[in-house]
Every structure is written in structure tokens, then in C-alpha cells.
Structure 1
Amino acid sequence: MNNSQLNYENDFYNWTRQQIELLKTGRFNKLDTVHLIEELEDMGKSQLRELESRLIVLIAHLLKWQFQLSSLTEQWQEFEGKSWRKTIIEQRTQLLGLFEDMPSLKNKMPGAIIKVYPKAVLFAVDETSLPKNTFPDRCPYSTEQLMDKKFYPVNA
């Protein structure tokens, strides 16, 4: 095991500084390419996981808005879903920031919606105690609706 690999395993921060210095000085033959490639792949996966995580929360809250808001406002006149609205706004804002930093992630959104929708439904089921079959089998919201700050689904 060479010094670079030891640094990677024992002092990741120092390893990153070392790799940056090697890149800046053009000493490419000294780079720890195996770990560098691994870290770059993980960075891409991490950004995709963030996209998926934010979509789960956003979709779950839109589902709660659509399928539970009216019954809760009937039970409690003062209930307006303010915390849900706040969460929806927050997730949309964070997604916009993610797309500003990494525009290519926008292309991943349709596939990510399909992938995470079942998880968003389970999230909504857990938070509402509504039966799973209350919610559509497929995401009822388009990519545009998910990102439209004025879009809130009509109560069911």
C-alpha cells in the first residue's frame, strides 16, 4: 500500500489536499486514480440521492395536501396546512438550487419521480394513516407541476 492510499484510508482530508496539489502541479502520474475515480462516482450518486430525497418529501406533502387537507380542515377549522405548505416551498427551493448548481440533474427528474413515487406514497401513508390505496398508483403530478411554486393539487 503506497503513501497516497494510506492517506486516503487514514486522513481523507489530507488525501484530498494532496490530490489537489498533484493536479495543480500536473503530476498526474502520482495521483491515486483508483480512489479519485471512486470519489467522483460517489459525488454523482450523492447528488442523485439528494434529488430523490427531496422529491420524496415534496411528493408526499403534495399527496397529503390533495388527499387529507380537506378532511383535516373539516375537523379543525383553524387547520390550514401551513407546515405542509412550508415544506413544499422548502423542497421546491432546494430543488431549484440543486438544478442551478447541476443543470444536468434536471434530465434525471422524470426517472427519479418514477423511482421514488412508491416511497413518497409510503411516507404519506405513515404520516396520514390513510390506506395506501387512497393514493394513485402513479405520480399524479408532472415535472412542471412539482416545480411550479403556485401549484397545489385540488383537494380530493
Structure 2
Amino acid sequence: MNETVICAVGNVATRPVFLELASGASARFRLAATSRYWDREKSTWTDGHTNFFTVWANRQLAANVMASLDVGHPVVVQGRLKVRTDVREGSSQNWTSADIDAVAIGHDLARGTSAFKRTYKGETATAGAPSQPEPTWETSPADPAAQRAPEPAGVT
């Protein structure tokens, strides 16, 4: 399909809002993406124009957004860009909105740290302990049996 896929880096500008729709869970928030440039005359970094996007997350991504993001958090958002133009009631002015239907959202680790917690199918981001244990990827070099890949369940 011919869609415009973008990656936007910025800050969460509004508190995420959770919506339970007929099509499933959805969350939205505003993203502020400000360009920065080096001003040679002042010998300092200067803020440029700020673009605002409404970011939409659906299903499990929506639940994870609600559990993970707050105003001011630096994030990276990847998704489909949709620009809409409309005329509002009682006004002759055009109204334009730039929305991102998010595929992936994460904290910008160039600007801070984050702790990852995996969610499992059917589990919300704030639910209790996972139904399956987290796999152990680190192995001891002294234990050759630990270096083999584990057998899939049900295979003999």
C-alpha cells in the first residue's frame, strides 16, 4: 500500500487518554517534536519549529502506553502519518490535524534510561506476574548443557 510511514522523535505533550471503543482498546496523546540547530552567531543550540502530532495506539500497544508514558517523557514513535483538513462549525477557517497511527512507541534512550517489563497475551500491562517465566538468555560458559538451545515444549 502507499502509506506514509514516519519515525518521530519528541516529548509526550499531553497525558495519554485511554478509550474503550467497539473495535478494542485505544489510547491517544500529543507528541511535540522540536527541531534543534546550531546557531553559529550565538555559538549555542537553538530550538526551531515545534510540530505537534496526535499519536494513536491500539490494542496491547494502548495498554502499554497507559502503563509506561507520562507528560514530558522523551519518546520515539513509528507509524502511519495521516494529515486531515476540515472546516469547523461556526468558522470559515480550515483546521488541519497530523495524526500518527502508531506501530511502535518507545522511550528515547539517548535521553534517559527505561526498565522493560514484558506483557503476555491476554495480560494487561498492569496485571500481576507473567503466566510464563522470562527466558534465560545468559548462560554460564562453564556449563556446556546450558549453551544448547532448549527443546520446544511437546517435542520428543
Structure 1 or 2: more strand by fraction = 2
Structure 1 or 2: more helix by fraction = 1
Q: How high is the TM-score relative to the length of structure 1?
A: 0.22
Higher relative contact order at CA 8 Å, sep ≥6: structure 1 or structure 2? Answer: 1
Q: How high is the TM-score relative to the length of structure 2?
A: 0.22
